[in-house]
């Protein structure tokens, strides 16, 4: 929130720390800890974003805000249940963090100076106090009155007038809310003359055809699950399921009220997006378990453990490579490639119909085991096959 929350520092190579992975090691030297400069971090579960990309490193670095925590209110007498009840009441009454954050967002978009505007600086300080309120008992009270009559359109304010924001958040919002799908570079897959994507042979490992029949079976189940998810939340495509980003809210209604969600507050949208993401995570976990169960067909069926899921799939097992290649082929093969293998699956007529139907591209299907596909790609690029 404060412009000084982003700092540019030098990376120091220390051989004693070379065994550390996926963590940040801060120096104990200096007049002020670096985490404290970053939104007043005190390493009690804080998350940090680190980048060495020169294109997003700021050329001008602002001084960090003074995040000295207010001295907590002390009570010398023993704490009673009445004290706890009073504190809960005060917390409910004085919990203004959400209001402060929303006002800071609106002010930073409204004023040309952005987060450098004095109102934003003040709100950043208030937010810091509000975050520590449960620990200090000191509430964030506005010493200055900050009021906006208009809000940026992406905030969907219910009572204030809105304006079209020309800043980056407004542009990102418009790109998602009203996407130009025909010219979207991300959705421009490389297609064959038949008008659909074509399987890249670099993702195919010798012997994969032995598992094509099973792959078609799993693919048809997966297509059914995704279509059910699309129908349940009235989504447009598989892309919305995979990303959890709803492209068009105007098509989605609250079934109890009939209200279009395109005009409601962000909380309801967040709930829908979260529900879609959760459902998709369960689908991915289920089919990764299918891969594991096929691998361990002679063993007792393992219990689903999402935390350990990636470690359970043996990336060195070449049979897994063949299975993953078959999964990839059924999702990406074009009409010409599919025609070669069609005759072998006459006994799976229903599944083959789904496989041949271009309304079910389901390109996300093989990337459930994307870690295996990457192994295959690396192997083929290195010339091992």
SS (H, E, C) the chain: CCHHHCCCCCCCCCHHHCCCCCCCCCCCCCCCCHHHHCCCCCCCCCCCCCCCCHHHCCCCCCCCCCCCCCCCCCCCCCCCHHHHHHHHHHHHHHCCHHHHHHHHHHHHHHCCCHHHCHHHHHHHHHHHHHHCHHHHCCCCCCCCCCCCCEEEHHHCCCCCEEECCCCHHHHHHHHHHCCCHHHCCCCCCCECCCCCECCCHHHCCCCHHHHHHHHHHHHHHHHHHHHHHHHHHCCCCHHHHHHCCCCCHHHCECCCCCCEHHHCCHHHHHHHHHHHHHHHHHHHHHHHHHHHHHHCCCCCCCCCCHHHHHHHCCCCCHHHHHHHHHHHHHHHCCHHHHHHHHHHHHHHHHHHHHHHCCCCCCCCHHHHHHHHHHHHHHHHHCCCC
Q: What's the CA gap between 187 and 204, in Å, rounded?
A: 23
Separation of alpha carbons 34 and 131, rounded Å: 19
Residue 309 has pLDDT above 90, yes or no: no
Pick the residue with more confidence: 357 or 28? 28
**190 pLDDT exceeds 80?**
no
Band (pLDDT 50/70/90 cuts) for residue 320 is: very high
Rounded Cα distance, 291 and 252, in Å: 34
pLDDT at 44 over 60: yes
* Weakest-pLDDT range from 48-52, 69-73, 107-111, 159-163: 69-73
Average pLDDT over residues 292-304: 53
pLDDT tier, 203 (very low <50, low <70, confident <90, very high otherwise): very high
* 349-356 vs 212-233: helix crossing angle, rounded to 10: 60
The β-bridge partners of 10 are none
Residue 307's pLDDT band (cuts 50, 70, 90): very low
Helices 318-332 and 266-295 cross at an angle (nearest 10°) of: 130
pLDDT tens digits, one per residue of 47-76: 888 888 888 888 888 888 876 666 667 777
Q: What is the pLDDT averaged over residues 345-371?
A: 67
Check whether 301 has a pLDDT greater than 50.
no
Q: What is the mean pLDDT of residues 35-54?
A: 83
Higher-confidence position of 360 and 105: 105
* Distance in angstroms (rounded) separating the CA atoms of residues 180 and 252: 19
The residues, any chain, with a CB within 8 Å of residue 152's CB and separated by 6 or more, are: 106, 109, 110, 162, 163, 164, 165, 167, 169, 170
Distance CA 330, CA 355 (A): 7
pLDDT score of 266: 53
The residue among 348 and 92 whose pLDDT is bigger is 92
Tell me the pLDDT band of 378, cut-offs 50, 70 and 90: very high
The DSSP output letter for 170 is: H
Which distant-in-sequence residues (6+ apart) come within 8 Å of 63 by Cβ? 4
Residue 222's pLDDT is 92
Please report the pLDDT score of residue 109 as a whole number.
93
Look at residue 170 and tell me whether its pLDDT is greater than 70: yes
Closest by CA position to 144, among listed 169, 119, 177, 174: 119
Report the range out of 7-11, 89-93, 233-237, 355-359 with the highest average pLDDT.
Answer: 7-11
The SS3 assignment for 43 reads: coil
Burial 177-187 (b: 16+ CB within 10 A, else e): eebeeeeeeee
Helices (H), 235-308: 238-243, 266-295
CA nearest to 284, candidates 322, 327, 314: 327
- Distance of alpha carbon 275 from alpha carbon 289, whole angstroms: 21
Cα–Cα distance measured from residue 20 to residue 230, given in angstroms and rounded to the nearest whole number: 42
Q: How far apart are CA 335 and CA 361, in angstroms?
A: 12
**From CA 278, how far away is CA 268, in angstroms rounded?**
15
Which whole number is the average pLDDT over 18-29? 85
Average pLDDT over residues 213-232: 89
Instruction: Give the contacts of 84 (CB within 8 A, at least 6 positions apart).
Output: none
Mean pLDDT of 358-384: 84
Res. 216: pLDDT tops 90:
no
- The CA distance from 374 to 349, in Å, is 31
pLDDT at 124 exceeding the cut of 80: yes
């Amino acid at each position: 929130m404060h412009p000084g929350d982003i700092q540019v520092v030098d990376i120091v190579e220390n051989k004693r720390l070379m065994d550390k992975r996926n963590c940040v090691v801060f120096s104990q030297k200096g007049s002020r800890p670096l985490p404290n400069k970053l939104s007043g971090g005190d390493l009690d579960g804080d998350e940090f974003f680190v980048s060495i990309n020169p294109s997003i490193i700021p050329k001008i670095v602002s001084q960090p805000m003074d995040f000295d925590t207010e001295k907590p209110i002390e009570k010398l007498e023993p704490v009673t249940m009445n004290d706890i009840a009073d504190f809960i009441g005060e917390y409910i009454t004085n919990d203004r963090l959400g209001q402060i954050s929303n006002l800071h967002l609106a002010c930073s978009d409204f004023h040309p100076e952005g987060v450098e505007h004095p109102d934003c600086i003040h709100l950043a300080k208030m937010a810091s106090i509000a975050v520590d309120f449960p620990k200090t008992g000191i509430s964030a009270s506005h010493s200055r009155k900050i009021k906006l009559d208009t809000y940026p359109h992406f905030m969907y304010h219910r009572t204030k007038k809105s304006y079209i924001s020309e800043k980056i958040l407004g542009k990102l919002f418009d790109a998602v809310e009203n996407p130009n799908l025909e010219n979207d570079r991300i959705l421009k897959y490389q297609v064959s003359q038949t008008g659909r994507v074509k399987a890249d042979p670099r993702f195919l490992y010798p012997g994969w055809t032995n598992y094509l029949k099973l792959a078609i079976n799993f693919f048809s189940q997966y297509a059914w699950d995704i279509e059910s998810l699309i129908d349940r939340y009235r989504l447009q495509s598989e892309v919305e399921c995979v990303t959890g980003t709803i492209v068009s809210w105007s098509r989605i209604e609250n079934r109890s009220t009939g209200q279009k969600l395109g005009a409601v507050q962000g909380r309801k949208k967040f709930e829908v997006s979260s529900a879609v993401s959760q459902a998709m995570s369960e689908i991915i976990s289920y089919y990764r378990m299918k891969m594991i169960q096929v691998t361990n067909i002679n063993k007792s069926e393992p219990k689903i453990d999402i935390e350990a899921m990636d470690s359970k799939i043996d990336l060195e097992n070449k049979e897994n490579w063949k299975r993953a290649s078959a999964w990839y082929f059924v999702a990406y093969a074009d009409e010409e490639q599919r025609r070669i293998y069609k005759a072998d699956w006459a006994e799976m007529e229903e599944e083959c119909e789904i496989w041949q139907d271009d309304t079910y591209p389901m390109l996300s299907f093989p990337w459930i085991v994307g870690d295996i596909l990457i192994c295959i790609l690396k192997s083929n690029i290195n010339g091992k096959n």
